[in-house]
Structure 1
Amino acid sequence: MITIRFVFISLLITCLSWISRSQEVQNSLKHEIDLWLKNPHLEHASVGIYLKDSETGKILAQTSPQLSLVPGSTLKLVTTATALEMLGPDFCFETRLAYSGEIKNDTLWGDLVIVGGGDPALGSAYFKEHYLQNHFLDQWVDQLKKANISHITGNLITDATIFEEQPIPDTWIWEDLGNYYGAGTYALSVYDNLYTIHFSSPGQAGQPTSVNYTTPFIPGLELQNKVLSSNRNRDLAYVYGAPRSNQQIIRGTIPKGRTDFKIKAAIPNPPFLLAWDLLDRMKKANISLNGFIQNQAQRQANRQLQPLAITRSPELLEIIRVINHESVNLFSEHLLKYLAFLIHGEGSTQKGIDVISDFWEKRGIDTKGFFMADGSGLSHFNALTTNQLVNILYEMKSNSSYGEDFFQTLPSVPNGTLYFFNPVNFPGESLRAKSGSMTRVRCYAGELTSYHNQKMLFAIFLNNFSGSQQNAIRLIENLLIRIAQTPALPSQK
């Protein structure tokens, strides 16, 4: 007969065995990390590492103390997770075409108004089938025809007032402004807020280049071209210019001997371009406008508008998938400002930061040392700990109705921003993660499944390392391989 004493002793032995095995695995992970940290390229670097078991929440390894570090684009995980929780995966943004006044016979006695709803993807190249296969502007023109409008007495007004007037966060650097990845955020963004500049360059290095044209055509754009030809076979040209300013200057170099070399830049005034493009299509359809394109400066709560057309975005989950795969700063900043508008009625960067911080504090995340300056991670003023990011990921994994959907938006090797990693080292979908990089910053965060089928949430931040980005990538990849090779931690029942 099995006695109570025997059962107790058996349980005690099992528990001690689990603790011993757990300690052994943790010591092994700590040893691997300690060896890795001795790499000479990390001698003067700031490093943050945090690993947690995806199922039990047990801490597997961490660096101490947990430092607030620049996360780069891994910050997008915080923004996208918050938006998914607050809006839901099926949420769609709306852009409306409407009018004021009245329609008599074939004339609109009033204004035509484009009302921005904060859609980050309107006309996006990432969603060509959704917006461009049957072009959304052609659909708007068709609705004007259906309403029997062939003449408009007033103006074409762009209403982007649900977002603040300032499209750029205060802490973005001048070098980023004007370039496609530093595009401003408007409640009426369009075509990813980017345009392409087409260059030709002479066969000799160090000579002036020529700007051939841009796509799309930007009305009123004035480009001062200071770009030279170079022996270096890469794009080292940068566009400098303030938002809403048509005066832009391009400096740097492009490869020599090119007839059509392309660089991407930020559209200076997306709402105006959207209206200009619509007006061009209206003219081709013989719909005339007496007035001009005007930007509405302030919200008009009591304005009476009659709807003509509504363009809905792809579902939020698909937008988040693009953000986490392709690291699109513009889309992330849109989500941040839209959350601010949703909660505070004011689509500003600072209000969006407040919404996100409050959201995770209420979920039990310790936000001491969490400093957020934008929604995308482009600002050098962002800082958080790897502990905070992993705990947010754990909340999504354990307590979110959309957790599985969220983790499926993260790229697996060698897709999205993980294209540098060798898929042989991470077969199947054993690594799903978001990367973040800027000068002397390389970070990764996501979920790793070990070779022993243990799932781990992790964040690895490197700041101010020596050597190249490629070297930092190899360092982190090697550490993730070592972690994946570590024997599995016994399950705690």
Structure 2
Amino acid sequence: MPHFCHWLSISLLICQFSTCGWSTIPSRRFSVADSLAIQRLLAHVEAFQSGPAARFGTVALSIRRVSDGTELIGYNARQSLPSASTLKLITTGTALAVLGSTYTYTTTLEYDGSIKDSVLTGNVYIRGSGDPSLGSWRFPNYFDLSSLLEYWALAVKSVGIRRIQGSVIGDASLYNTLTTPDTWPFGDLGNYYGASLSALNINENLYRVFFKTGRSINTPAPVLRTDPAIPYLTFQNTVTTDAAHTGDHVNIYGAPFMNQQWLTGKVPIGEPANEFSVKGALPDPAYFTAFALHQQLQQTNVVVSGAPVSVGGGLSTTVAATGQRIKLTQHQSPSLAELAQQTNFQSLNLYAEALLRTTALTLDKTVTTTDDSIEALLKFWKSKGVNLDGFRIRDGSGLSTVGALTADNMTGILSALSREKTFPQFYETIPVLGQTGTVRSLARRTAAAGNIRAKSGSIEGVRAYAGYFTATDGERMSFCILVNKFTPGQNRVVTAELEKIFVDLVNLSGK
């Protein structure tokens, strides 16, 4: 059965096939140029769907006029499919709409107990509020990890503390349950892109592990060190050396709160200094924060008698309070607009999960889980009149392989976002095709380059893009393209077909 039908006489009727049968989009009049542009687009989509790259999978497309929310073209647009990281558009857009573009996170350094003769009889706390950027290197005017630790240590010493008869405590108790979505693949959890959310994130919850590359292929590549230093982590390492210029083929297996990690795969020979590093996920970011500050204090001659401790995030650990906490200093994050831009430009899973949870807690103070957070997001968009049939997301980032939405869901929410007062800021967080972010290398030297704002998404067997473009008549349009279960080994073909579609988009009229 064909996936679209059209009649070229007075008007053009675009049809789409869904699991419930044919559904139609209201007919309208088109100029000859408009009709040819739509024919060309749909011909490319149909050729893509029936060609070798996608014939065993699904190609879905939705194009919607932003001004009134009318969907103009739909192709498999009601089929629920994995969104991959295009979901971050919904997460960041919702966060901006609910929290405002100037929202910031606050991390507080505190102590309890009493200070006498330079001795604190009590504990020092780092209390998190969910800031995903704390200690990150991405923001030039903010503390990176080393500068942050130095700043905190100075704040402790500035009130005369030279000895702590207690512990440094990483307080992640804002989230009192496990924060890792239960549908994330186990094989992702030890890697940086699968880093679990904490109420006290640090250094984007990642570290680097450095390998010594062997002198020949298939020889062992032992672990040299980690950066930052994490002496309490242990590794079971079977990584070997591969041919030169083969890149990172290491997988790190781990889980939240587990200090044993497994290293498998290969690293390339002939790297500078015969070293090669890959990024892993901190198993307990709050504990590492406490550990790192404990170490920093010791290095600056502040003695800490107790071992570092973390609380929250589903741990059963509790700490006996020794009086009211007193604030030493606070750290403010970059603005939400800046955080959202990094989320979308760099496709940062941790940031997306943090924004989902923060947004949900603002909408509903009783939220305690990822599922609760998703439910709060659903209620928000249903209250705006968006059709969410087929909307089955499982996280805020799109890393879940079982989460899904329809192309129609995506363009519906993107169009609704245009009516929010924070839309101008949201629009700027989306990369420009052929120029910035994860889409900077796509469709270069074509009419689409510079004329489409798009978030990319890619997980196993999935390529997805969503965002906005301006039609030939000046109308702003939202779009979503989902490609699911494309043929293995056909990545270049998929890219070429998508670039044709991008060029077709900017030749459409929105009227």
TM-score by length of 1: 0.90
Once the two structures are superposed, what CA deviation does each residue of 1:334-376 show, in whole Å capped at 9, x if it has no partner?
Answer: 1122233332344421111111111101111122211011110
- Structure 2 residue aligned with 1:471: 493
- Structure 1 residue aligned with 2:446: 425
SS at match of 1:320: helix
The residue type equivalent to 1:282 in the other structure is L
- Structure 2 residue aligned with 1:10: none
SS at match of 1:472: helix
Query: Which structure has greater helix proportion?
Result: 1
Pair 1:64–1:226, CA change in 2 (3 A): closer
- Structure 2 residue aligned with 1:5: none
Pair 1:89–1:435, CA change in 2 (3 A): same
- Structure 1 residue aligned with 2:139: 127
- Structure 2 residue aligned with 1:293: 308
SS at match of 1:257: coil
Pair 1:299–1:433, CA change in 2 (3 A): farther
Q: Among 336, 353, 359, which residue is 1:316 paired with?
A: 336
Q: Among 216, 225, 231, which residue is 2:228 paired with?
A: 216
Question: More displaced, 300-309 or 205-214?
Answer: 300-309
Determine if the alignment matches structure 1 residue 228 to structure 2 residue 249.
no
- Structure 2 residue aligned with 1:199: 211
SS at match of 1:485: coil
- Structure 2 residue aligned with 1:275: 290
Q: Among 325, 329, 342, which residue is 2:345 paired with?
A: 325
Alignment of structure 1 residues 98-137 onto 2, 5 Å? 98-132=110-144, 135-137=147-149
SS at match of 1:379: coil
Does the 8 Å CA contact 2:62/2:77 hold for their aligned counterparts? no
Does the 8 Å CA contact 2:472/2:510 hold for their aligned counterparts? no
Alignment of structure 1 residues 116-195 onto 2, 5 Å? 116-132=128-144, 135-195=147-207
Q: How far apart, in 2, do the equivalents of 1:385 and 1:211 lie? A: 44
SS at match of 2:141: helix
State, as a whole percentage, how many aligned pairs show the same letter.
32
The residue type equivalent to 1:324 in the other structure is N
Unmatched runs of 5 consecutive residues or more in structure 2: 1-9, 11-26
Determine if the alignment matches structure 1 residue 91 to structure 2 residue 103.
yes
Pair 1:316–1:251, CA change in 2 (3 A): same
Q: How far apart, in 2, do the equivalents of 1:473 and 1:299 lie? A: 52
Once the two structures are superposed, what CA deviation does each residue of 1:313-341 show, in whole Å capped at 9, x if it has no partner?
Answer: 11111000000000000011111222333
Does the 8 Å CA contact 2:451/2:469 hold for their aligned counterparts? yes
The residue type equivalent to 1:354 in the other structure is E
Q: How far apart, in 1, do the equivalents of 2:282 and 2:87 lie? A: 25
- Structure 1 residue aligned with 2:380: 359
Does the 8 Å CA contact 2:101/2:422 hold for their aligned counterparts? yes
- Structure 1 residue aligned with 2:14: none
- Structure 2 residue aligned with 1:447: 468
Does the 8 Å CA contact 1:219/1:273 hold for their aligned counterparts? no
Pair 1:161–1:26, CA change in 2 (3 A): farther
**When the two structures are aligned, how many residues end up with a matched partner?**
472
- Structure 1 residue aligned with 2:276: 261
Q: How far apart, in 1, do the equivalents of 2:76 and 2:211 lie? A: 50
Q: How far apart, in 1, do the equivalents of 2:190 and 2:449 lie? A: 39
Pair 1:250–1:262, CA change in 2 (3 A): same
Shift of 1:83: 0.9
Q: How far apart, in 2, do the equivalents of 1:299 and 1:474 lie? A: 55
Q: How far apart, in 1, do the equivalents of 2:155 and 2:128 lie? A: 18
Once the two structures are superposed, what CA deviation does each residue of 1:373-417 show, in whole Å capped at 9, x if it has no partner?
Answer: 1110000111111111111111111x1001111011001122111
Pair 1:433–1:168, CA change in 2 (3 A): same
Shift of 1:471: 2.5
Does the 8 Å CA contact 1:340/1:352 hold for their aligned counterparts? yes
The residue type equivalent to 1:480 in the other structure is F
The residue type equivalent to 2:400 in the other structure is S
Q: How far apart, in 2, do the equivalents of 1:21 and 1:340 lie? A: 43
Unmatched runs of 5 consecutive residues or more in structure 1: 1-12
- What is the root-mean-square deviation in Å for CA atoms of aligned residues? 2.4
Q: How far apart, in 1, do the equivalents of 2:304 and 2:194 lie? A: 34
Shift of 1:299: 8.4
SS at match of 2:79: coil
Q: How far apart, in 2, do the equivalents of 1:449 and 1:294 lie? A: 53
The residue type equivalent to 2:29 in the other structure is S
Alignment of structure 1 residues 365-376 onto 2, 5 Å? 365-376=386-397
- Structure 2 residue aligned with 1:238: 251
